[in-house]
Amino acid sequence: MSGRIRWAFVLVAACAWVANFNSAFSEPPAPNPVAASGNANIVYLTREHDLWIDKKQHEIVMKGKIAVREGNLEMLACPEGTKEHESIVAVSTKAHPVHAALLALGAKVGHPSRYDGKTSKFTPASGSEIGVFIRWTDDKGKHEARGQDWIRNIKTHKSLEYPWVFGGSILRVEDNGEKYYEADYGDFICVANFPTAMMDLPIDSPKAWEDHLFEPFTDRIPPKGTAVELVLKPKVEKASADSKSEPPAVKP
């Protein structure tokens, strides 16, 4: 399969996946992939043009802003209107189209973290490793930072030493047939474990406030309200036929 044909296939599939979610949420369907400003490498996945795939750079980019720079931390990033009080970045897109974009770039869904109350067994999140970067511009020019370098280990006072993985959250199906992608409500890119996280750390990182392991690396983060671009770069191995295309559907 040629590269051009493959891209047409995966991008149409990704937008169909988004449209399926949008239909479930009673929102207008996402538009078909459209090249931006004559640049055939840029493909938007939302009508607002706040989320796009850069085919040449093999990355996903979304618009956002700095939400917090200090205090207790549960997320590196969340969708706007959800958990800004405990997230460094608030992005203007929901989580489910980002899930679709990761699939389009070949990322493989694993599973969110799990805790078995009967056996007290914790299973960390799994999935493709996703590189996370933040870009912004100020009076000194353009900048880019690793997501890990904005997170400080409370015990060691060093940058986050773990990668994020694509756990894939949960598609919850109610008895009336309504569907909800749980990460849309805040659990987008987590540093504390949530069973509904789209991306999480592959370690035991308790979500109880008194047990938090991480905090913002305040001195490295630009002022609150600064416009940023959040960039995801999947570390993709050879595509497999059994890769999952959507999060597990569960009933409450």
pLDDT on residue 210: 66
When comparing pLDDT for 176 and 134, which is higher?
134
Looking at every residue in the chain, the average pLDDT score rounds to 84
Quick one: pLDDT at residue 36? 52
The DSSP call for residue 193 is -
Residues 196-214 have pLDDT tens digits of 999 999 999 877 666 788 9
pLDDT digits (tens, 9 = 90+) for 168-198: 999 988 888 888 999 999 999 999 999 999 9
As a whole-number percent, the residues of the chain with pLDDT over 70 amount to: 78
Q: How confident is the model at residue 32 (pLDDT cuts 50, 70, 90)?
A: very low
Task: Convert the pLDDT of each residue in 81-129 to its tens digit.
Answer: 999 999 999 999 999 999 999 999 999 999 999 988 788 899 999 999 9
Is the pLDDT score of 165 beyond 50? Answer: yes
Q: Is the pLDDT of residue 5 over 50?
A: no
The pLDDT of residue 148 is: 98
Average pLDDT (216-225) is: 97
Specify the pLDDT at position 198: 98
Q: What is the DSSP string of 69-109?
A: SSS--SEEEEETTTSGGGEEEEESS-SHHHHHHHHHTT--E
How does pLDDT run across 34-51, given as a tens digit for each residue?
A: 445 567 889 998 888 999
- The confidence score (pLDDT) of residue 17 equals 54
Q: CA–CA separation, 177 vs 183, rounded Å?
A: 18
Q: How far apart are CA 31 and CA 7, in angstroms?
A: 16
Confidence of residue 246 (pLDDT cuts 50, 70, 90): low
Burial of 163 (0-12, 13-18, 19+ CB in 10 A): middle
